Structure 1
Amino acid sequence: MSSPKKDQNTGFFAAMTSGLSMFSNAMHRSVNGLLGYEGVEVINPEGGKEDAEEEAQRGRWKQEERDSYWKMMHKYIGSDITSMVTLPVLIFEPMTMLQKVAELMEYSYLLDRADECEDPYMRLVYATSWAISVYYAYQRTWKPFNPILGETYEMTNHGGMRFIAEQVSHHPPMSAAHAENEHFTYDVTSKLKTKFLGNSLDVYPVGRTHVTLKRDGVVLDLVPPPTKVNNLIFGRTWVDSPGEMIMTNTTTGDKAVLCFQPCGWFGANRYELDGYVYNAAEEPKILMTGKWNESISYQPCDLEGEPLPGTELKEVWHLADIPRNDKFQYTHFAHKINSFDTAPKKLLASDSRLRPDRYALEKGDLSKAGAEKSSLEERQRAEKRAREAKGQKFKPRWFDLTDQVTPTPWGDLEVYQYNGKYTECMAASDTSSSVEEVDIKSIEFNPWQFDNLSEE
């Protein structure tokens, strides 16, 4: 095995830019000239099986739909389109961004092991593998629904935890989430910044993720790499996340730095990552390598980053079995969190599962899904107008805006903090004998819980 080198990132972005530039130049004449759209790049990352012209005609849209959408979207090139564009429902999956956040909990047992582990460097191996594990799910090319302001998602019956997420801001779109079991607490304020580049979209995770391991009170801070969505309109859509993931133990100063390799020619290096766990003196202690869509392994190393004699590469995580030919490329866990099996007995009416547009899309009724989506968006705008007319201000129910502003590589972030009220609410319902048995599937979606809440 060839181990990753400490200077592996030297020239990384230059090499990535050069490779993509050469490919773009080679494809520009044959593909973009054929399509008649200058500056639109069409790439098949797997390569070899189809020529560029045939690949350019692939995708989930009909030709006339793509042409129409391109005419509408080209004026946004170079802009952040996070919340300024209404997208057609045919590119969506029957899931919201809040549920997408919850997908990170599929392999939460890795955080349990991190908490149980006494070796400070293996803690980071487990915790970083947990952060990597979600990237298989993140490569799905369907777009999740943007949550309505005040919308929530709840998850129980998984790893002994309770998970709650809430849409805390609409402009800019921001979510906050909290999860907890006997081993760890997880807190995130999520805010995405995008840059539309024509046929691709750069996504920058302007967010803050903290994990607290309960046994020793260790606090871990995560900075994920950016993501690039390729072939949004023309060609086969695919996702790549080139860059560094950094997991820092803020208690000790130890950290893991992993490099997600960019997809090269004909899919070369796609999915691959490697890096090290360093001590506070920035000396490598454990090397990590693998593919984010298959498995991650680790091995103790010397100060030069080379594997220690007498040690072997050991697997720490591998992808669970996945459904074959699933319509939305869901994992078994994605189906689980989209069902009511993981819902608490007393489900909030604001829960994402209850959205009528999401449900209609799940049933394959695109026409109804589109109409319901438009209705929800218009109701959200109407509620905002009513609130502003009354001088009222939206205030999240389960999270509080703090005075803390955290710097990130892509901009400053206002931090929301879990206020504990959801835990109290669920504890009360669990112990109450007067809670009526209700068919939660029949609950009407209602995130509009703040109509009469004024700032006092």
Structure 2
Amino acid sequence: MGSPEKKVNSGFLSAMSSSFSRLGIAMGRSVNGLLGYEGVEVINPEGGKEDAEEEARRGRWKDEERDSYWKMMQNYIGSDITSMVTLPVMIFEPMTMLQKMAELMEYSHLLDQADECEDPYMRLVYASSWAISVYFAYQRTWKPFNPILGETYEMVNHNDITFIAEQVCHHPPMSAGHAENKHFTYDITSKLKTKLLGNSVDVYPLGRTRVSLKRDGVILDLVPPPTKVNNLIFGRTWIDSPGEMVMTNMTTGDKVVLYFQPCGWFGAGRYEVDGYVYNAAEEPKILMTGKYNESMSYQPCDMEGEPLPETELKEVWRVADVPTEDKFGYTYFAHKMNSFETAPKRFLASDSRIRPDRYALEKGDLSKAGAEKSSLEEKQRAEKRMREAKGEKFRTRWFDQTDELAQTPWGDLEVYQYNGKYTEHRAAVDSSDSHVPEDVTSIEFNPWQYGNLAKE
């Protein structure tokens, strides 16, 4: 088990919301060399020993599409491509970034356990295991749709949670989310910064995640490692997330520092996570170890970080069973999130589920998905022009921008705060006897500021 560094970053876990990741193989050859497939170094994270040149030619792109897109992407090397590059729908999954933010709620029972736990160090074991649990799902290499400004996603019928997310800014793309049940509240402002390195993209999670445990009023702050998507165009796309994850109890000063091991040649070390829970004096109290695609375990330790005598390693979390040979690598929970099973009886017309390009892709109609995606993006640009002509600013509905400017390792972050209006809206709608359409997909997707968003 590797020893984690004790350096603490400031920041938070973003919607991760992206399917991109950080740190893996570095591009050691020039652009010209890559275009000629000369000396491409390839790490196969699954452990196979395939020929590097043959592996470099593989991928989800047809040769002509790959070469054309590669030539275009050269212009953006070294740049932040978060919202400046239009991507073909063939590399997307039928899910939006707002839904990816909600995917962190799959194992939210761990936060319930953290709230019920009286031991301050075990509280961090439960809470940090919750934060790690989503990384299994984040290994999917399909890209989620960027939300349209004003788009929302609602989730209910899971662990008594009410979840709402809203796209609050388009340039740069920013989302805000809020979840709550009787044990905790979860608040996130999500903003990603990317850097194109040629055949890979580094992603830095500018953002802030705060979890408040209701019983004792404990506030937890979460900082994830940066991540990287490898073999973006050439080769088999795969994701790695080495570096530190830090969760700090802002009430007591206790913290947990977990180190995600980098993926080595032929997959060595991939998925492995280990570290310690520390008290406010930075003395280790509990060691944690495991793999984020399998399980996490813990054991009390001494001041040197060694397991205490007569104690044993105990499992705290294990990944749930997943469908076999699923086209997009979805978990059962991801399918549940995408369905109307987790939607309120009457949901907002701005909800991601009824977004036409996402829905068309889910049904396997790539042609319609591409056309709908282009149409939505043009409507978004048209509304921006109208807003500028009127001299108005975009108005968020469920979150308000605060005066706070949070500092992260990768830049400053404008913080959005849940304003409570969705709770009032949900209570009013749920108590009404208004008609629910039999075919919910017939509801017109409407995130527009100047449209009739109140149709719901």
CA contact (8 A) 1:4 1:305 kept: no
CA contact (8 A) 1:40 1:198 kept: no
Residue equivalent to 2:355 = 355
Deviations 1:258-306 (A, max 9, x none): 0001101111100001000000000000000000111000000000000
- Deviation (angstroms), 1:58: 1.4
Residue equivalent to 1:74 = 74
TM-score normalized by the length of structure 1: 0.92
CA contact (8 A) 1:175 1:191 kept: yes
Matching residue's letter, 2:97: M
CA contact (8 A) 1:92 1:142 kept: yes
TM-score normalized by the length of structure 2: 0.92
Residue equivalent to 1:436 = 435
Check if 1:105 corresponds to 2:105: yes
Residue equivalent to 1:14 = none
Residue equivalent to 1:171 = 171
Check if 1:54 corresponds to 2:54: yes
- CA gap of 1:70–1:19, structure 2 versus 1, over 3 A, is closer
Alignment of 1:202-221 (within 5 A): 202-221=202-221
- Deviation (angstroms), 1:450: 4.3
Q: Which whole-Å CA distance do the structure 2 matches of 1:85 and 1:39 have between them?
A: 28
Q: How many residues align?
A: 438
- CA gap of 1:447–1:108, structure 2 versus 1, over 3 A, is same
Q: CA RMSD in A?
A: 2.1
Q: Which whole-Å CA distance do the structure 2 matches of 1:240 and 1:61 have between them?
A: 21
Check if 1:134 corresponds to 2:137: no
CA contact (8 A) 1:43 1:231 kept: no
Residue equivalent to 1:12 = none
Q: Which has the higher contact order (CA 8 A, sep 6+)?
A: 2
Matching residue's letter, 2:74: H
Q: Which whole-Å CA distance do the structure 1 matches of 2:121 and 2:23 have between them?
A: 35
Residue equivalent to 1:13 = none
CA contact (8 A) 1:271 1:291 kept: yes
CA contact (8 A) 1:42 1:234 kept: no
Moved more, 53-62 or 307-316: 53-62
Residue equivalent to 2:448 = 448
- Deviation (angstroms), 1:20: 4.7
Deviations 1:108-155 (A, max 9, x none): 000000000000000000000000000011110000000000000000
Residue equivalent to 2:148 = 148
Residue equivalent to 1:184 = 184
Q: Which whole-Å CA distance do the structure 2 matches of 1:351 and 1:110 have between them?
A: 27
- CA gap of 1:34–1:436, structure 2 versus 1, over 3 A, is closer
Residue equivalent to 1:161 = 161
Matching residue's letter, 2:437: V
Secondary structure of the corresponding residue to residue 361 of structure 1:
helix
Gaps of 5+ in 2: 8-21
- CA gap of 1:149–1:123, structure 2 versus 1, over 3 A, is same
Residue equivalent to 1:119 = 119
Q: Work out the percentage of aligned pairs sharing the same amino acid.
A: 80
Matching residue's letter, 1:132: I
- Deviation (angstroms), 1:430: 1.4
Residue equivalent to 1:228 = 228
Secondary structure of the corresponding residue to residue 328 of structure 2:
coil
Matching residue's letter, 1:60: R
- Deviation (angstroms), 1:42: 3.7
- Deviation (angstroms), 1:5: 3.2
Q: Which whole-Å CA distance do the structure 2 matches of 1:320 and 1:341 have between them?
A: 19
Q: Which whole-Å CA distance do the structure 2 matches of 1:419 and 1:81 have between them?
A: 31
